[in-house]
Amino acid sequence: MQVSDSSGQVTFTSIFPGCYSGRYPHIHFEIYPSLAMATLYTNKILTPQMAMPRDICSTVYSAATGYSASVTNLASVTTANDNVFGDNTAAQIAAQTPTLSGSMYAGYTGTIVIGVPA
């Protein structure tokens, strides 16, 4: 759990997600109106997910240990045939894909803007 700063920004550290059968590589997260409200699932105001950049997925899956199944799974899934991302336009997918910089060995840093309902 992370609490946003006064600008609404949050920072977290994660492992790179694998690609499982039928789903494009992604990370889910939930947004709550306050820390106190985050103790009850029904208080969430949004459950977005980020689609990971395909080129970086390919790099990580082919070079890092533990992602062998992800290589095969990624070969058969795209955002277009994913059962969640599939009904989004290209512009919507772009908005749901973080911009990543860095490398597999040094780690990646990503940024994404998430619109939150008022």
Biggest alpha carbon distance in the chain?
42
| pLDDT at residue 74 in the model | 98
Residue 20 lies in a domain: no
From CA 79, how far away is CA 57, in angstroms rounded? 13
Q: What is the pLDDT of residue 106?
A: 92
Q: Residue 42 contacts by C-beta under 8 Å, 6 or more apart in sequence?
A: none
In a domain, 4, yes or no: no
Contacts of 114 by beta carbon, 8 Å cutoff, 6+ apart: 31, 46, 48
Q: Is residue 59 part of a domain?
A: yes
Q: Is the pTM of this model over 0.85?
A: yes
Residue 18, in any domain of the structure: no
Domain of residue 67: give its range: 26-111
Domain membership flag for residue 102: yes
Strands (E), the chain: 26-28, 49-51, 99-103, 107-111
Structural domain contains residue 16: no
Instruction: Report yes or no on 5 lying in a domain.
Output: no
Per-residue model confidence (pLDDT) at position 88: 96
Per the structure, the count of domains in the chain is: 1
What interhelical angle do 54-63 and 68-75 show, nearest 10? 140
Q: What is the pLDDT of residue 1?
A: 85
Please name which of 5, 82, 2, 76 lies closest in space to residue 49, comparing C-alpha atoms.
Answer: 82
Q: Distance between CA atoms of 18 and 23, rounded to whole angstroms?
A: 10
pLDDT at 116: 87
State the 10-residue block means of pLDDT for the chain, 118 residues long.
89 93 95 93 94 97 96 97 95 96 93 87
